[in-house]
Structure 1
């Protein structure tokens, strides 16, 4: 049976993740409050940021940047970084 969560990004009940995306309290928070669709969209956006900005994910500064961007993404913050030349679909 599908597990439903109230997705903090979409502000509606949606299919939840199958498991916490990482260990600890933060992983549990995402498991409880983020939909599978929103998480997949974040993974795509994160990959774009890593590639576009040539981030080394092993560097603490890059990790901090991605954590900040992840929070902005799920909170629908308009200041979330976009890839250079990125244009939203019409």
Structure 2
């Protein structure tokens, strides 16, 4: 049976992660309080931010920015979105 957590973002019991996604206390907090669904959504959103805003991951300011956005996203707060992003049209 899959492990469940009370997800901080969605405020309900959902499937949890298999292991902490980051080292240290921050990774443990995410493991204990964030659902697998919310984490996958964050990874997709983070990728979009990096690509659309042309962020340089070698820059410490960028890492700080992404960390702040991750906290906001996973806590259900207002977070930055990629300006001008247009999702691809479905081929239905």
Normalising by structure 1, we get a TM-score of 0.91
Q: What CA RMSD, in Å, does the superposition of the two structures yield over aligned residues? A: 1.1
Counterpart for residue 69 of structure 1: 69
Q: Could you tell me how far apart the structure 2 residues matched to 1:53 and 1:85 are?
A: 10
| Structure 1: 5+ residue stretches without partners | none
Counterpart for residue 58 of structure 1: 58
- 1:61: Cα distance to partner? 0.3
Counterpart for residue 31 of structure 1: 31
- 1:72: Cα distance to partner? 0.7
- 1:34: Cα distance to partner? 0.3
* Divergent runs of 4+, >4 A: none
Number of matched pairs: 86
Normalising by structure 2, we get a TM-score of 0.89
Instruction: State the secondary structure of the residue aligned to 2:27.
Output: helix
Q: Could you tell me how far apart the structure 2 residues matched to 1:65 and 1:30 are?
A: 18
